[in-house]
Chains A and B, each alone.
Chain A
Amino acid sequence: MSGTWMTTRAWLLMLPLLVVMVAVIGWPLVDTVGLSFTDAKLVGTAGNFVGIDNYTKMLSSSNFSRTLVTTTWFAVASVAIEMVIGVLAALLLNQEFRGRTFLRALMILPWALPTVVNATLWRLIYNPEYGALNAALRQLHLIDAYRSWLGEPGTALAALIIADCWKNFPLVALIALAALQAVPRDITAASLVDGAGPFARFRFVILPYLAGPLMVALVLRTIEAFKVFDIIWVMTRGGPANSTRTLSILVYQEAFSFQRAGSGASLALIVTLLVTVLALAYAALVKKTAGSAT
């Protein structure tokens, strides 16, 4: 069989996927770019061409800069905590103890719990009147009066980060555990003979095996965290006083609540650009890590 025919056949088999992807992703993305240069409303008239007005307006608004800070803070804090706790949990699950299989099976639960259910669950836990957190802290005499954890700008974002970490650290733990199980036993044994302490062993023997998979987990989690919408919408809708408003929530408000499709589109593309830059920077980092680890 000739190579050309093989390639043609492969393209034919790819075709349905590519057609659908162009229809549901390619065309909408191009259309978003077009819309971002107009003052179109969500319903009704097509809108007039306004050049880069939307972009300059959005980029210079204090809403945008404040939301960017909130989003970055959410992404950095939640991903950092998830990575640290996830790796610690994986190191634990890689030890030998009774009930290990059961504990490993438990790790799948938070991951499998739908995001909206997780958000609802934590919203109930944080409830200012009847929530379990207030009740527990009060009964342990750690607080004097019930607090509105999601209702105060000072605590709302931290409360969201905790809820997000609880759901997502097990995924990091499972990825790290799979990597740990790939570390050859004789290497760890040899390092023991050579007198390496636990920290030296982690740093120089185990970490090289973890670095690659963890970098990938880090990239995926950061991109997800930067796009975060669901958990915030269900728990706080960006409030109180916009203290938990992330970029995706801001785009939603602009395009759908205020029905300003044009400026909403420009904002969405700014977010897309930020995520892309982030992903490319990470991709370079992953390549470097992969190169140095082996």
Chain B
Amino acid sequence: MERKSPAFTVFIYVCAVLLAVVILAPIAWLFVMSISPAADLAAKPLRWWPQSADFSRYEQLLSTAENSAGAAFTASLRNSLEIAGMATVAALLLAIPAGWAVSRTPSIGWSLSMVIATYMLPPVALAVPLYMGLSYLGLLNNVFGLAVVYLTILAPFTTWLMKSGFDAIPREIEAAAMIDGAGLFQTLRIITLPLAAPVVATSALFAVLLAWDEFFYALLFTSDQRAKTLTVAIADLAGGRVSDYGLIATAGVLAALPPVLIGLVMQRALISGLTSGGVKG
């Protein structure tokens, strides 16, 4: 390693602290707002630390009493979970066979390239026909309708991840199983899929995160508690006439909690997924 002067070491630590503060300050403030009494948040000069922690807003948002702020919030939470779950399962059911096929038969790879190229399409280029189509099928403001639309985002991405995952599994292992008399689906079930389980898990997590984060289609295609997702519910709160900013912050904390926990726990897998695209091109 290179020799380091004390000044350089100090410089490194100053930068590290600065970076930590830049990252943490906004997030910490979101949490502080969520537990500060409303009077503290409206005080001038602003009170940066609450006199007493007030967790009542969490209770308020997670209560299911009818016509409360909590009813709307918990409904959107349930919708987000349902839609993300359904879209993720559907995306994987499409992605696993397709990813394997492209991995083992490169001559059809161009079809996956075409699917992935749709990433460039701005959602606005599909929005009007999708709106008319969903309306025609009676699937506007419907969790199934939105889950199907989310496949436009989830399916190409998961297929691409699965394909790179299968690429890392030597096909000789499959060939050996087949020589031993296993059929194709038996081989895939007994040999390939267990080996690919980590990639399936990573793909599923990415898909859930993408669906959880989606806003544009949800804003267009949902209109009330039957299908509104968390992102739309939060945008409603932020843009509405809510006078208690702490309540908006609380909704933000609750919506951020699942993806942030997934991110922290699955850090290694997520980063390798993120960078495999970056490194391999």
Q: Please list the residues of chain A having a beta carbon within 8 angstroms of any beta carbon in chain B.
A: 6-7, 9-11, 13-14, 16-18, 20-21, 24-25, 27-29, 31-32, 35, 42-43, 89, 92, 95-97, 99-100, 103, 105-117, 119-125, 127, 129-130, 132, 135, 138-139, 166, 170-171, 174-175, 178-179, 182, 188-189, 192, 212-213, 216-217, 220, 223, 226-227, 229-230, 233-234, 237, 247-248, 251-252, 255-256, 261, 264-265, 267-269, 271-272, 275-276, 279, 286, 290
Contacts and interface: CB of A to CB of B under 8 A. Distances in A.
Contacts of A108: 263-264, 267, 270-271
B107 interface: yes
Contact of B152 (A25, A112, A139, A227): A25
Interface in B148-185: 148-149, 151-152, 155-156, 159, 184
B86 to A, nearest CB: 14
B235 A29 contact: no
A32 B16 contact: no
A111 B263 contact: yes
B197 interface: no
Residue of B29, B235, B267 most packed against chain A (CB within 10 A): B235
B27 A178 contact: no
Interface stretch (B52-60, B61-69, B253-261): B253-261
Interface of B: 1-2, 9, 12-13, 15-16, 19-20, 22-24, 26-27, 29-30, 33, 41-42, 44-46, 48, 93-95, 97-98, 100-102, 104-105, 107-108, 111-112, 115, 118-133, 135, 148-149, 151-152, 155-156, 159, 184, 209, 212-213, 215-216, 219-220, 230-231, 234-235, 237-239, 245, 248-249, 251-252, 255-256, 259-260, 262-264, 267, 270-271, 274-275, 277-279, 281
Contact of A230 (B95, B98, B215, B251): B215
Nearest to B261: A112
14 contacts: A10-B102, A10-B107, A18-B98, A21-B155, A89-B19, A97-B9, A103-B20, A112-B263, A115-B215, A132-B29, A182-B279, A192-B2, A234-B239, A272-B122
A32 B126 contact: yes
A113 B118 contact: no
A290 B281 contact: yes
A135 B41 CA distance: 11
B12 A92 contact: yes
Given A14-B102, A29-B125, A106-B24, A114 B19 contact: no
B95 A97 contact: no
Contact of B133 (A28, A113, A127, A265): A28
Given A113-B260, A276-B120, A271 B125 contact: yes
A265 B123 CA distance: 11
Given A135-B46, A178-B275, A97 B13 contact: yes
Given A28-B133, A111-B263, A116 B234 contact: yes
Main secondary structure on B side of the interface with A: helix
B87 to A, nearest CB: 11
Contact of B111 (A14, A248, A290): A14
A120 B235 contact: yes
A28 B126 contact: yes
Given A89-B19, A182-B279, A255-B127, A113 B27 contact: yes
B279 A212 contact: yes
Contact of A229 (B27, B46, B123): B123
Contacts of B20: 99, 103, 106
Nearest to B41: A130
The 6 A-B residue pairs with the shortest CB-CB distance in the complex, in nearest-first order: A112-B263, A135-B46, A10-B105, A31-B129, A13-B101, A28-B129
A92 B111 CA distance: 41
A148 to B, nearest CB: 16
A21 to B, nearest CB: 5
Nearest to A127: B245
B152 A7 contact: no
Contacts of A31: 128-129, 132
B115 A21 contact: yes
A10 B104 contact: yes
Contacts of B41: 130
B94 to A, nearest CB: 4
A138 B45 contact: yes
A16 B120 contact: no
Nearest to A265: B128
Q: Which of A111, A113, A265, A272 counts the most B-chain CB atoms under 10 A from its CB?
A: A113
Contacts of A21: 115, 118, 152, 155-156
Given A13-B97, A132-B46, A179 B279 contact: yes
